[in-house]
Amino acid sequence: MKASAFVYPWDVNGDPRAAGRIAVLGVAQVTLAAAYHSTRALTPRHPRHRIVTAEHAAVLYPAGDRWTGRAIRPYPAGDWAPGDAYGEAAEALAAAGLEVHTWVVLAHNSRLGAEHPRTSVVNAYGDRYPWAPCIAQPATRAYLVDLAAEAAVRPGAKGTELESLGWYGLAHLHAHDKTGGVGLGDAGQYLMSLCFCPHCRAGYAEHDLDADELAVAVRTALEPLWRGAPDDGGWAGVEKLLGEETAAATRAWRGTTARSLQEAAVAAVRAAAPEGFQVLLHADPVSYHCGANAGVEPAHILSVADGVVVPCAGGTGLLAPFAEQASVDAVLAANFTVVSGMGGSPGTLAADADRARDRGATELRLYHAGLASDGDLTAVRGAIARL
């Protein structure tokens, strides 16, 4: 199975040994961040630093002329990724014999929400989620489509992986997060992720829902959960809390919005890319799910993109719905965390990969070569050799 390791430019730039260290893992490819959200990252082997703080979502290369005069545009990186940090790292990795694909984070941008608050998802209580751009808004959609095309198709890249190409909601790894006091399951997360910005309110009306009445219904449905009632989870839980017809109408609006954005973004990437350029989405086969792995309809997304990257840290079960719809040529990449300090199991990677292959996986993704300890990387190297 072909394997690719995720990497940040700051893992490579300034460390002359980094590219070779990744190459000897036995991976054929790296997925290198070209546009990324804010983060605080460990660099345990870098000769110049140990902690990198990316203060806000940014492009890790010089943005192009297409953004001139536009209010919503990508932010340049600070000193954590100056200049063409992506290009510098990509050149070093390619020189080490690695195929380079871009890693592009889209609808996840806290600075955008802070500086342009009306772009954000607004929940039924009126709270804004600055990390979550509302993908129904025309200006935001135009920004995301253009960002996908520009950040994906960097010089020398052979393909791209598009993350967060769909709805983002309540769930978010926020700094000093204090939202876990009430255990919301699938149903509660969905209700807390419904957007009530003006564009979504108009969208609900297209599906015969009054937005004010829907907001009241959502708050009423959530009230027992705030008081400790169990969240039944799953779509059946949403239907129980909101009513079948109302739940279906909200899902129809959000699903149509996400699908059309995914189609537009992939088409823009293909238009900008050379022939043979591979386009994958980080995806969850449960279409109403929100987050970095966007909820999709497997048959639809496999008709649009070349394949998907599927989270498998909690098991390989999410692969099956994609495998049932995949053509012979589709890429189904099983994404495993190989950083033991972040809950990964690099020591079981070979066995995990075998299980993923049995579920239909054609490739592996390893998160993350820059964050992993030396011991983790040794285990990865051994697993790939066995595969």
Q: How would residue 232 be classed by pLDDT, with cut points 50, 70 and 90?
A: confident
- Both tokens of 17, joined, read 């040994």
Q: What range defines the domain where residue 270 resides? A: 2-181+255-386
Report whether pLDDT(277) > 80: yes
Q: Mean pLDDT over residues 229-251, rounded?
A: 95
Q: How would residue 262 be classed by pLDDT, with cut points 50, 70 and 90?
A: very high
Number of compact structural domains in the chain? 1
Task: Give the CATH number of the domain where residue 109 resides.
Answer: 3.20.20.80
Q: Which residues contact 130 (CB under 8 A, 6 or more apart)?
A: 110, 112, 113, 114, 117, 120
Report whether pLDDT(174) > 90: no
Angle ∠(349,157,86) on CA atoms, nearest 5: 85
Q: Mean pLDDT over residues 189-196, rounded?
A: 97
Q: How would residue 172 be classed by pLDDT, with cut points 50, 70 and 90?
A: confident
Residue 222 lies in a domain: no
Report whether pLDDT(226) > 80: yes
Residue 189 lies in a domain: no
Q: How would residue 173 be classed by pLDDT, with cut points 50, 70 and 90?
A: confident
Q: Mean pLDDT over residues 361-384, rounded?
A: 98
Q: Which residues contact 336 (CB under 8 A, 6 or more apart)?
A: 312, 313, 344, 345, 349, 352, 353, 356, 364, 365, 366, 367
- What pLDDT does 180 receive? 77
3-state secondary structure string across 181-221: CCCCCHHHHHHHHCCCCHHHHHHHHHCCCCHHHHHHHHHHH
Report whether pLDDT(78) > 90: yes
Cβ contact 250:204 at 8 Å: yes
Residue 149 lies in a domain: yes
pLDDT tens sequence across 90-133? 999 999 999 999 999 999 999 999 999 999 999 999 999 999 99
Residue 218 lies in a domain: no
Report whether pLDDT(177) > 80: no
Give helix then strand counts, H and E, for the chain: 14, 14
Report whether pLDDT(170) > 80: yes
Amino acid at 64: G
- What pLDDT does 7 receive? 98
Express as a percent the part of the chain with pLDDT over 70. 99
Residue 213 lies in a domain: no
The number of residues making up the chain comes to 387
Q: Mean pLDDT over residues 352-375, rounded?
A: 98
Q: Is the dihedral of CA 194, 198, 203, 209 positive or negative?
A: positive
Residue 333 lies in a domain: yes
Express as a percent the part of the chain with pLDDT over 90. 95
Q: Mean pLDDT over residues 191-202, rounded?
A: 98
Mean residue pLDDT across the chain: 97
Residue 113 lies in a domain: yes
Q: How would residue 358 be classed by pLDDT, with cut points 50, 70 and 90?
A: very high
- What pLDDT does 2 receive? 96
Residue 297 lies in a domain: yes
**Among 354, 306, 352, which residue's Cα sits nearest to residue 327?**
306
**19 versus 178: which is more confidently predicted?**
19
Q: How would residue 328 be classed by pLDDT, with cut points 50, 70 and 90?
A: very high
Q: Mean pLDDT over residues 245-253, rounded?
A: 98
